Amino acid sequence: MDRLIYTALTAMNAAMDRQRVVANNLANASTPGFRQEIFAVTAATLKDGSLEARAPARGNVRGADMKAARVVPTGNPLDVALEGKALIAFQAPDRQGEVYSRRGDLRVTATGVLENGEGLAVLGESGAPVTVPPGFAISLAADGTVLAADPSAPDGAAEPVDRIRLVNPEGSPLAKGIDSFLKVPGPGGQTGVLPPDLTARLTPGALEQSNVETADTLVQMIETQRAYEINSKMVSAVDEMLRNANQTL
């Protein structure tokens, strides 16, 4: 009986983990450039030479669904939609290494740093955050070049300041953790970097939407809740059986 309870308990834990992933996907259904997280459950069987009677189920985020999403024109010159499989390189939140995303709702901070709507600094070709002169009119070219025009200049010609670091993950390992950022897994928990893609292109004045299908995600949430409830009832049923057995004895 305890084996049945143990099996149901591990299934409940996996259902709770999946529920968190589904809830995160649903919460980001309207986040520009968001990539739906893929959840997987694996059995962690103990290999100690004895009978394999217990195998806990471990669930985690396996990766991201990189399927393209709908592109919507916005008219904002700092909004960009990436073409193909390209990604934008951003400075990691802890400023250690870089993370990748297709979120292109860019803006300029008061200090002149180019960042996206999530507050992540956009990296340039040198690997440092892209910084533009304060007060200059900023525009973006299709190859990721950042142009700045001095409004006080007679001709007002835009000059290149930097180029957004665009990368292509094709052929390279790419993982998505619980922090929702795309990273290159490395040894010892460190993160690697993707090589630059000089042929990558973007479309200014447009935004790619999230590829989360709201209806399908709601169905997944209901299925996960039912799976948890079924295993919870199984634990209650086994508990009742054990109580009856004890009373009979």
pLDDT digit string, tens, across residues 13-60: 788 888 888 888 899 899 999 998 888 777 666 666 665 555 666 667
Tokens 């649903």, located at residue: 26
Tens of pLDDT, residue by residue over 86-145, are: 999 999 888 888 999 999 999 999 999 999 999 999 999 999 999 999 888 999 999 999
Cβ proximity of 118 and 134 under 8 Å? no
Compute the distance between CA of residue 37 and CA of residue 23 in angstroms, rounded to an integer.
10
Domain ranges of the chain: 2-65+212-248, 71-208
pLDDT over 70 at 1, yes or no: no
Tens of pLDDT, residue by residue over 142-191, are: 999 999 998 877 777 888 999 999 998 887 888 886 667 888 887 766 77
* Rg, the chain, Cα only: 24
Task: Name residue 175's beta-bridge partners.
Answer: 183
